[in-house]
Structure 1
Amino acid sequence: MVDVAKNGFKRVWFITGASRGLGALMAKAALADGNAVVAAGRNVTAIAERLGESPALLPVALDVTDEAQAQAAVKAAVEKFGRIDVLINNAGFGLLGAVEESTDADVRRMYDTNVFGLLNVTRAVLPVMRAQRAGHVINMSSIGGYRAGAGFGPYSSTKFAVEGLTESLRAELKPLGIHATVVEPGYFRTDFLDASSLMVAKEVIADYDETSGNVRRRAASMNHSQPGDPEKLAQAVVKLVDAPTPPLRLPLGTDTLKAIAEKNAYVTEETETWKALSASTDFSA
């Protein structure tokens, strides 16, 4: 094993989906900050081309849906750097379409990556962090992980799952000295709305034209003009990792902040409206 301290690395990051988009930018920012990075993705050549060669970089092949590959990637990381301090579960993709328009096959494929793939990698990394009694698990969610809307129901459901898993992880890992955070980006100017990252349901049902159909049109017009700066997001994640007491949730982008405030206000109002009925279901004293 390599002694990380002697080699001068600040921390060792393990990032999934690191060949492009936010994953590649976070890897680049982590390297610039003096960290070692295990950059995992299906296309190792693309990772090497994007990030270059460095003694602080280990590109590893990883399809997160393959549990054996996740175990092998973690083993390679520990053999190279001796530890894993930060796990960023970034691999994932979206599905745009009404719930009824979304096929079983497409939804299951998305869950395999966004949820079950995240679990595969997390289960592979946690024994390392538990042995260290230190680490930080960062799960990439979305503005859609806090509030869902027309056109993104199945996708949001995967991110709602990520939010719930992260809340549980935080409670389970805190006594072991390990942090857990869910990051909730809004719309950032990446390729997420391209076909490489976003499936669009093939079936179009006319009854949903004003809801999900409208979202399809807006997504196409918004592509590559989103308000968020992805390089600033990468720098924000570096600051998150450096924080001595990181939060459970980190919303990124003014659009996410607005969505959270609006949903919180709605939940408060609706809860108050139905409070009497809600309270009436307890056993009588």
Structure 2
Amino acid sequence: MAGVWFITGASRGLGKEIAGAALDAGETVVATGRSADDIRQALGTSSRLHALVLDITDEGAAIDVARHVVERHGRIDVLVNNAGHAQLGWFETIASAHVRRQFEVNVFGTMNVTRAVAPYLRARRSGRIVTISSVNGLLANPGGSIYASSKFAVEGWIEGFAQELAPFGIESMVVEPGMLRTDFLDDRSAAHGDVEIEDYAEAIEQFRAFIAGANHNQPGDPAALAARIVALATADALPARLVYGDDAQEWAADKVDRLKADIARSVGLANGG
């Protein structure tokens, strides 16, 4: 029997690709975003596609939309937490309001939707939660400290919450892609710091040039990742993590190696070495 998917941030980028792949697989898709018209324009028309407006930072709206989905479709089988925002730039060049906005969207917005959906999954003692993180949920780079910190927070939260949900038959997967060929680095999804500090000026200029050159030229194929997510989410068992892309796998493996070295060094220091 086809499942009911609830996908946030589905009007473009990876969210649109996941929604399209789920539709192609015969699933019923509730695709949410800030504009239902944008979703329909991106995904076309289908009797199994239902486009709804949702600002994930509005907790009350998330509760209302989740209730509406269950009243209309009877259940939610797969929640895909995809909506997000990238606040880029050197930490000191980012005003505190922008830092808070990053966490409101990526962390608290994701929590809002999951908190709204989880009771329905628990009631049925089944369901799957797919949370789109990033390889930057495992490591941080210059120019990405705020974005990475939000993804670190998401990963810590969902790792613990997944264990709380497991006794009720609910599975969770965190997806950690590398650089995907989407519009995520466009101005609609990404922002740069706006506080000028001369000490950082040269590094920031180089970083902005890198971002501009990488935009729409990233190595990762979002359609391929979307197809893989749908395949995994409809298989018998859901892996806890999917580190996707050669770049992400290389960077993650390097982080693990460095962490192991730090642990070994710490053991020696703790023992007076």
TM-score (norm 1): 0.92
How far the C-alpha of 1:218 sits from its partner, in A, is: 1.1
1:186 has 2:173 as partner: no
Unaligned segments of structure 1, at least 5 residues: 281-285
**C-alpha separation in 2, matches of 1:82 and 1:196:** 34
**C-alpha separation in 1, matches of 2:45 and 2:79:** 21
Counterpart of 2:207 in structure 1 is 215
Counterpart of 1:241 in structure 2 is 233
Q: Which SS does the other structure have where 2:243 is aligned?
A: strand
**C-alpha separation in 1, matches of 2:256 and 2:6:** 33
> What is the one-letter code of the residue matched to 2:66?
V
**C-alpha separation in 1, matches of 2:64 and 2:85:** 23
Counterpart of 2:221 in structure 1 is 229
Do 1:15 and 1:89's aligned partners in 2 also have CA atoms closer than 8 Å? Answer: yes
> What is the one-letter code of the residue matched to 2:110?
L
Do 1:182 and 1:249's aligned partners in 2 also have CA atoms closer than 8 Å? Answer: yes
Deviations 1:102-131 (A, max 9, x none): 111111111111000001100100011001
> What is the one-letter code of the residue matched to 1:262?
D
Counterpart of 2:134 in structure 1 is 142
How far the C-alpha of 1:98 sits from its partner, in A, is: 0.7
> What is the one-letter code of the residue matched to 2:36?
V
> Which of 90, 100, 107 is equivalent to 2:82?
90
Unaligned segments of structure 2, at least 5 residues: none
**C-alpha separation in 2, matches of 1:210 and 1:274:** 35
Counterpart of 1:32 in structure 2 is 24
Number of residues of Structure 1 aligned to a counterpart in Structure 2 = 272
CA RMSD of aligned residues (A): 1.4
Counterpart of 1:74 in structure 2 is 66
**C-alpha separation in 2, matches of 1:171 and 1:34:** 30
Deviations 1:13-44 (A, max 9, x none): 00000111111111011011010001011101
After the TM superposition, list the runs of 4 or more consecutive aligned residues in structure 1 that deviate by more than 4 angstroms: 209-213
Residues 201 and 55 from structure 1, CA distance in 2 versus in 1: closer, same or farther, beyond 3 angstroms? Answer: same
1:174 has 2:180 as partner: no
Do 1:151 and 1:213's aligned partners in 2 also have CA atoms closer than 8 Å? Answer: no
Counterpart of 2:124 in structure 1 is 132
Residues 278 and 137 from structure 1, CA distance in 2 versus in 1: closer, same or farther, beyond 3 angstroms? Answer: farther
Residues 175 and 212 from structure 1, CA distance in 2 versus in 1: closer, same or farther, beyond 3 angstroms? Answer: farther
**C-alpha separation in 1, matches of 2:101 and 2:51:** 25
Counterpart of 1:257 in structure 2 is 249
Q: Which SS does the other structure have where 1:192 is aligned?
A: coil
Q: Which SS does the other structure have where 1:239 is aligned?
A: helix
1:104 has 2:70 as partner: no
Decide which moves more: 184-193 or 73-82: 73-82
1:201 has 2:193 as partner: yes
How far the C-alpha of 1:79 sits from its partner, in A, is: 1.7
1:120 has 2:127 as partner: no
Q: Which SS does the other structure have where 1:105 is aligned?
A: helix
Q: Which SS does the other structure have where 1:256 is aligned?
A: helix
**Aligned-residue identity in percent:** 46
Counterpart of 1:164 in structure 2 is 156
Do 1:140 and 1:183's aligned partners in 2 also have CA atoms closer than 8 Å? Answer: yes
Q: Which SS does the other structure have where 1:274 is aligned?
A: helix
How far the C-alpha of 1:180 sits from its partner, in A, is: 1.0
**C-alpha separation in 1, matches of 2:4 and 2:119:** 15
